[in-house]
Structures are given as C-alpha cells and as structure tokens.
Structure 1
Amino acid sequence: MGEEKLVALQLMRKFLAFENSNEPLQIKSVVVKEGLKGIIYIEAFKQSHVANAINGVSALNQFNVTMVPIKEMVDTLRVVKDIPQLKVNSYVRLKRTMYKDDLAQVDWVDVAQSKVNLRIVPRIDYNRMRGALRTDADRNHKVKRRPMPRLFDLDRINCIKCHPSREIGGEVTNDGDF
C-alpha cells in the first residue's frame, strides 16, 4: 500500500477519534488518486480546517498546503475510463521496448498481481556478442538497431557455439557435469 493511502487511513482514524469530542475535525473527505505520488486531496470549507486535521500527522508537511483552484476541482476527481480486461488468447500490441508495435498473444493473466504473460515472436540478434563473449568495444558501443522478428533458430545458436572464436575457455560440459 502506498504512503499516501496510509496517510489517508491515518486521517480517517483521526477523524473517527475526534468525532464525538468537543472539537471534531471539520473535513469532508480525503482522496488519494492512483498515479499521483505525494499528493493527497483533503476537502474542507476552510484551509484552517485542513491545517487542524493534518496537525500531528508526521507524513504531511503543514507548510506545504495549497488550495486547488475552483476551475481544477472537477478535473481532479474525474473518473478515468476503465481499462479493458485482457482475455486469454486475445491479441495485444506492445507500446514500449524493443517490441514496440509488435503483436503478441495473451498466454495467461494474473489480475491480483497485475501481471500478464505474452507469446511474442522474438527479435534475437544472432550476431551480437553477449556476456563473457563481449569485448570492451562492444560494451561501450550501443547500437539502437532492432533485429527483425524471427522464430527461434536452434541451428544458428549451435553454429555460434561451434565457432572457435566464440568459445568460452575451451571447455565443453553437459548439464550436470561440473
């Protein structure tokens, strides 16, 4: 849970604690919007009521309270259209990374953890050295070239492993042999 939500819960508990006292908190609502880090909206008739409510809440800075202009009040609480739910075996188009604008198929969806597994045609550059095979020039030289999408080619991988200039240490091992 985010820090902002915890502060909102703390303000709610404080409101309930002072509700039946001689000086109840005079705030109307506390709103935390997803995606706005470090911003909490507290609704009240006066700014002094907000200052009284946040007094003693260590996570809030009492001197950094600003009023939202009347023109922006409606926009701050506007509900954004809900994101459509992904279905297994449906197709999606990626927006970022090397796979930008590529089509992918949804393999499985975990709504609870906001995770999705996709099937996608890989973009493997068989000519680029990786790991211990990289030279200092390869490490310093960054090329933003996108390889063409191709299905995985085991023969090309085996060909790269057999090439004598690309061996690591000259030792050949099988899985489990150390």
Structure 2
Amino acid sequence: MPRTQIHNEPELLIRLAQSDEKAYTEIIDHYGSVIYGHCLMYVKDAGLAEEITQDILFSIWKQRAELPSISNFAGYVYRMTRNRSINAFKSKLAATEPPADHLKSWLHSPDASIEYKQLSEAIARGVELLPARRQQVFKMSRYEGLSYEEIAQQLNIAKSTVKDHILEALVFLRTYIKEEYGIVTISLFWLASHSR
C-alpha cells in the first residue's frame, strides 16, 4: 500500500490481539482511508467500496489474535483489500438479475416490528458509546440525512475527516451489535444505508 506501516505497528498489533480498542482505532485511522481508496479504484462504486472497507476492518478485528505473527501487516492488508475488491467487482459484473429484496420480505414478517425496534435500540446504545465528535458526525449523517460535504461545512472540517469518522463509527457499531446482540444481517443494511 502507498502508506508505510505505523512506526509502532508491532506493538499496536500486540495490543490489538489483546482486544485493545484504542489500538484498533489507531489501525483504522492509519489504514481506513487507504483501504477505501484502493477498493474504490477497483470497484468504481462508493457504496460498495465503503461496504468492502467495513468488512476488511471488521475482519482485522475478528482476526486480531493472529495479527502479531504477521511480519508485513501493510502487505497483508493490501492483499486482503485487492482480493476482496476483485471478487466484489467480478460478482458485480456477473450479476444479471437484481438481488432479492430480503429486507422487504423481512419487514412484512410477523416479528419484523419487534426485531426492528430491538435493532434500533441496540444501534442507539452503540452510537452513544462513540467519542463525542464521531457521534456528532454520525448523527448528522444517519439521523439528519446530511451529506459528507454538508457536515464538513457545518463543522469546519475536511470531507475526508467526515468520511473517516463515519467509517470508524460503522466498524465500531458492527462489532458492538454483533458481540452484544448477535445481530448481523439487518443491522448491516441499516448501517450501510445513506452512504455519501
């Protein structure tokens, strides 16, 4: 990857293997936007690139125990990014029919309103655990429907900073919801929606 490894990367990977969330945030800060840029270059679709980026960052968290043994972490991240992006692009090209609308059928199921309420409450609790600025950016994007550009102007920060906050918030929320509640599929739809 174009960006070199973090100066204290081996130590960060050891801390990450011990489930240190601050170490994980440093990894995301360093690699998140680079992963997204590479994904976007391959798939030419901002929403899909963001989804792949979230999956890769989530995979890093899931595989954290194995990371200290990787001598070239930047190369490992690059290979994972390239392979997942290429696979996603091939799948996109191969798709001849629109995907089944699983969300629509789920919303019409008898338990949908109860499950949706539980999910909404779980997400709200997770959002409240975000750092103050990240929480503010996330709420402006997801709850107020503002674009990255609008958020950047209102808060007087760079658009790339807004994107980094959103990516890190999404990764945290996916991990939080999965580990705390075991909810994955529907939450991924909600979290990935309204990307800008």
Larger gyration radius, structure 1 or structure 2: 1
Structure with greater proportional helix content: 2
Between the two structures, name the one with larger relative contact order (CA 8 Å, sep ≥ 6).
Answer: 2
TM-score by length of 1: 0.20
TM-score of the aligned structures, taking structure 2 as reference length: 0.18
